[in-house]
Amino acid sequence: DLVLFYFSGHGYHFDGKNYLIPIKDADMEDETDIPHCAANVQGILDRLMEGNPPYATIMILDCCRPYFIKNASTSSRPQKLALIIGNYDYSDQKNKLTQFVKNVNDLSKLLETIDFQVTSHCNIKENMIGPIQDFCKKIIPNDLVLFYFSGHGYHFDGKNYLIPIKDADMEDETEVPDYAADVQRILDRLIENNLPCVTVMILDCCRPYFIRNPSISGRK
């Protein structure tokens, strides 16, 4: 299935995790109450993917964070920033993708027509966090930030990962955390230090992903 999750409302980052806030928030005394009152973003993503992994999962978080920007510089003009990553030329022949390069090119052109500053990368071999870190340096408070990944994804040990193209050396799924990029870590980097006004994360992940020695859970 193609699954889309959209949330519009307040979001909050606390203790390394991201939360979506329900409207009954008057009883929260301080941020330590957040985990008890709000919905954990990673928990939502896990529920969407792990029980019945969809063909593609799109998560759009249109989160308002006015309390974080009260002391932001008023002279800073909000930007529209997009990071587009397309991985399709995988080392293992069974994992090669064909149509994904068109997805990246088409989306990049579309976003540029609506005044996004687009940074795109295709076929990242190993270190996917590096380009993401460089992109995050451009973000200032109040920005509209979009992250799009097209390629293979994998769920292992309660976490979701995006796979770089140099994957032929992975012997089994226990090596996925060493080779791939943790989705929650990416989301944290996009929002925790720079606090954009809106963060959109689109994961156009292809499944199944062939791995030599998957566990039963890895074949979901």
Residue 125 vs residue 216, higher pLDDT? 125
Residue 126 lies in a domain: yes
Exposed e or buried b per residue across 171-181, where buried means at least 16 C-beta atoms within 10 angstroms of its C-beta: eebebbeebbb
In a domain, 18, yes or no: no
- Structural domain range at position 175: 43-219
User: Is residue 176 domain-resident?
Assistant: yes
Contacts of 186-192 with C-beta under 8 Å, sequence gap 24+, read 186/129, 186/132, 186/147, 186/162, 187/18, 187/41, 188/13, 188/16, 188/18, 189/129, 189/132, 189/133, 189/136, 190/132, 190/136, 190/139, 190/145, 190/147, 191/11, 191/13, 191/18, 191/145, 192/13
Q: Would you say residue 86 lies in a domain?
A: yes
Q: Which of 93-97, 125-129, 194-198 has the lowest mean pLDDT?
A: 194-198
Separation of alpha carbons 35 and 157, rounded Å: 22
**pTM assigned to the model:** 0.63
Residue 22 lies in a domain: no
Q: Is residue 2 part of a domain?
A: no
Distance CA 188, CA 112 (A): 25
- Rounded Cα–Cα distance for residues 159 and 205 (Å): 14
Tell me what pLDDT residue 39 has: 92
pLDDT value at residue 69: 31
Residue at 33 is within a domain: no
pLDDT digits (tens, 9 = 90+) for 54-79: 567 888 888 775 534 333 334 345 68
CA distances from 101 to 18, 105, 215 (A): 31, 6, 30
Q: What average pLDDT does this structure show over 21-42? A: 82
State how far the Cα of 54 lies from the Cα of 34, in Å rounded to an integer: 29
**CATH, residue 184:** 3.40.50.1460
Q: How many domains does the chain have?
A: 1
Q: In this model, does residue 118 exceed pLDDT 90?
A: yes
pLDDT band at 6 (very low <50, low <70, confident <90, very high): very high
Judge whether 12 lies within some domain. no
Residue 59 is predicted with a pLDDT of 85
